């Protein structure tokens, strides 16, 4: 059986340090790799060691990328265990991030939505993905 592919979500930013606080302190991800001036780009990769996904944020000095195009650009994490979900929500709050109302009210029924410094949103959904 073939192994599952690794997923990298790569996104440009105007502020690596602000995103680090959100994803490292708030979401509890580890810095997996960091680079400076790689063909003019600085960047950081965050995730959980051994997980099948990670995030890459890059910044090119002198190039502005702006904010998320809509409030419905989401990454959703399903956390079915109530204690784990509560701890994840609390960690984001303690890092200085407050929940925001979801654009789609579906996500507010069993989840909490947080907006990162670039305007992209993360949903912590207190449910299991069952499909």
* Sequence ranges of the domains in the chain: 7-60, 74-125
CATH fold of 74-125? 2,3-Dihydroxybiphenyl 1,2-Dioxygenase; domain 1 (3.10.180)
- The answer to whether residues 55 and 101 touch, using CB atoms and an 8 Å cutoff, is no
Domains 7-60 and 74-125 share a fold: yes
Measured distance CA(124)–CA(108) in Å, rounded: 10
Measured distance CA(56)–CA(45) in Å, rounded: 4
Q: What is the pLDDT along the chain (131 residues), one digit of tens a residue?
A: 677 899 999 999 999 999 999 999 999 999 999 999 999 999 999 999 999 999 999 999 899 999 999 999 999 999 999 999 999 999 999 999 999 999 999 999 999 999 999 999 999 999 999 88
Candidates 1.10.1760.20, 3.10.180.10, 3.40.50.2020, 3.30.1490.20; CATH matching 7-60: 3.10.180.10
Cα angle 89, 91, 95 (rounded to 5 degrees) comes to 120
Measured distance CA(71)–CA(89) in Å, rounded: 19
Q: What is the pTM of this model?
A: 0.92
Cα angle 60, 73, 76 (rounded to 5 degrees) comes to 110
């Amino acid at each position: 059986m073939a192994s599952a592919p690794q997923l990298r979500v790569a996104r440009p930013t105007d502020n690596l340090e602000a995103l680090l606080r959100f994803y490292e302190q708030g979401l509890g991800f580890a810095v997996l790799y960091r680079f400076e001036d790689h063909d003019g780009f600085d960047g950081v990769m965050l995730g959980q060691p051994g997980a099948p996904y990670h995030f890459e944020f890059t910044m090119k000095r002198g190039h502005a990328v702006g904010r998320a195009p809509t409030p419905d650009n989401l990454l959703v994490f399903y956390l079915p265990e109530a204690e784990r979900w509560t701890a994840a929500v609390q960690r984001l709050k303690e890092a200085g991030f407050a929940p925001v109302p979801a654009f789609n009210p579906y996500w507010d029924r069993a989840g909490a939505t947080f907006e990162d410094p670039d305007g992209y949103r993360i949903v912590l959904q207190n449910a299991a993905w069952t499909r």
